Amino acid sequence: MFRFQEPKYLWLAAISIVVILLFLLAEYIRKRRISRIGEIRLVKLLIPETSLTRRIWKLVLLCLAIVSMSVGLARPQFGSKLEDVTRQGVEIIVALDVSNSMLAEDIRPNRLENARKFIERIVSKLENDKLGLVVFAGDAFVQMPITDDVRSARLFLSTIDTEMVPVQGTAIGKAIALSSNSFTKDEEISKVIILITDGENHEDDALQIAKELKEKNIIVYTVGMGSPGGAPIPNKRTGGFMKDRNGDVVMSVLDEQTLKQISSETGGIYVRNDNSADASDKILEELGKLQKGEVMKQNYSEYDDQFQYLAAIAILLLLVDIVISEKKNSVLNKIDLFGTSSNKENNDK
C-alpha cells in the first residue's frame, strides 16, 4: 500500500518548469547580447571556455533536485503491515425525514437544517460504531449503506434536500422497515434506528411495523423536529406558504404522541430537538448503555517513510550541480583518454 502523507507539497515540483522557462529566457537574452557584438559563431570562438552543454546539465540536475525535494516533502510511505483490528461498537441507521414539512421554521433556520446539525453532533461522537443513512418522505431510500466509516456521513448530509425523494408525504413505517433491512446479519451487535421526523405519518401503520422490529431486537430512538404549536410550510416555488384545496395555509404540527409510541414499543426513547445539544446528548447516553459487539476493521497499521532517500538524492544532485562549472575546465581538457592528440600530430607529420 502506497500513499503520500502530505500530498499538498507535490505542487512544488512545478517550480522546475519555471526554472526551465527562466533558463530559456536567459539563453535568449544571452544570444541577443552576443549578436550585438558580432556573428554568434565567431564570437563563440573568442570565448571557447563557455559551454552550453554544461549549462544544460546543471539545469537538469537542478530540476531533478527540485522534483526530489517536492516528492520528499510529500512524505511517500509504504504500508508494511496489514492488520485486522477488532473494536467494540453498535450498528446505527439514521432515518431522516426530507418531506416538505421539514422546511417549517418553528425551529430556526428550519427543521431540516436542525436535523442535519443533530446528526453531525451524533457522528462527531461515534468512534467504533457502524452507521447508515436512510432518507424518506412518501417513500424511503438508502442514502448511505451501513459502514464503519462514519465520518463519510457528513458528505452525504451536505447533499440532502426535500427534492431528493420524488413522492411527497411522510411514510414512517416504510422508513423504519427499510432501515431494519439495512443492518448486517450479525446478531451479537446491538442495532438502533434513530428516526428524525416531525411525526406527521400519513402513509402507513408505523406502530405495527415498530412491533415487528421489537421481535427482531431492533431499538428505535425517535427525535421530534418542530413544535406542538406547528408552523406553516414554506413554498419554494411561490415564495409564500403551502395551502390546501380550500386555499387555507397548511400548518405542520409535531406529532409527539406517535413518536413516543414507536420508541416505547421498541424499548427506545423519545426526545424533542429544540435547537439545543440536549437531544443529541440524551441519544448518545442511551447508545453508551447498549451491548456492543465486535466490529472488525482491516487497516494498514504501519507506514514506513521513504522521504529520507529522496532528500539524500536531492542533496547529492545539488552538490554535483555546484561542483560542475558553466565553463570548460582547462585542466580536464588537457587529459587525452583516447590519444586523439598524438594521432593528430602523427598525421600532420
101-110 residue pLDDT tens: 999 999 989 9
Residues 136 and 16 in one domain: no
Is the distance from CB of 94 to CB of 147 less than 8 angstroms? no
Note whether 340 and 206 are same-domain residues: no
Residues 71 and 122 in one domain: no
Residues 207, 319 within the same domain: no
Q: Is the peptide bond before 109 cis (omega within 30 degrees of 0)?
A: yes
pLDDT of residue 337: 41
Question: Is residue 9 pLDDT above 80, yes or no?
Answer: yes
Q: What is the pLDDT of residues 264-284, one digit of tens each?
A: 999 999 999 987 789 999 999
Judge contact between 104 and 144, C-beta under 8 A: no
Higher-pLDDT residue of 260 and 148 is: 260
Q: Rounded mean pLDDT of the chain?
A: 85
Which range of residues forms the domain containing residue 115? 91-291
60 and 193 assigned to the same domain: no
Q: Is residue 104 part of a domain?
A: yes
Residue of higher predicted confidence among 176 and 32: 176
How many whole angstroms separate alpha carbon 60 and alpha carbon 82? 39
Count, in order, helices (H) and strands (E) of the chain. Answer: 12, 11
Residues 115 and 263 in one domain: yes
Check whether residue 103 and residue 236 sit in a common domain.
Answer: yes
Assigned domain for 320 exists: yes
The total number of structural domains that make up the chain: 2
Are residues 268 and 138 part of one domain? yes
- If asked whether residues 259 and 332 sit together in one domain, one would say no
Kind and range of the H or E element at 88? strand 76-89
The percentage of the chain sitting over the pLDDT mark of 90, rounded to a whole number, equals 48
Task: Report pLDDT digits (tens) over 298-330.
Answer: 565 566 788 888 899 999 999 998 888 776 655
The C-alpha atoms of residue 286 and residue 288 are separated, in whole angstroms, by 5
What are φ and ψ of residue 271, in 5° steps?
A: -135, 150
Q: Examine the domain organization and report whether 335 and 280 are in the same domain.
A: no
Is 86 inside any structural domain?
Answer: no
* Gap between the Cα atoms of 149 and 154, Å rounded: 11
Pairing of strands 76-89, 293-305: antiparallel
Residue where the block lists cell 433491512:
181
Q: Are residues 110 and 70 in the same domain?
A: no
Residues 284 and 325 in one domain: no
Of the residues 291, 321, 338, the one at which a domain ends: 291
Of 176, 170, 197, 161, residue with least CA distance to 271? 197
Residue 149 lies in a domain: yes
Alpha carbon distance 18, 107 (integer Å): 55
Residue 204 confidence (pLDDT) above 80:
no
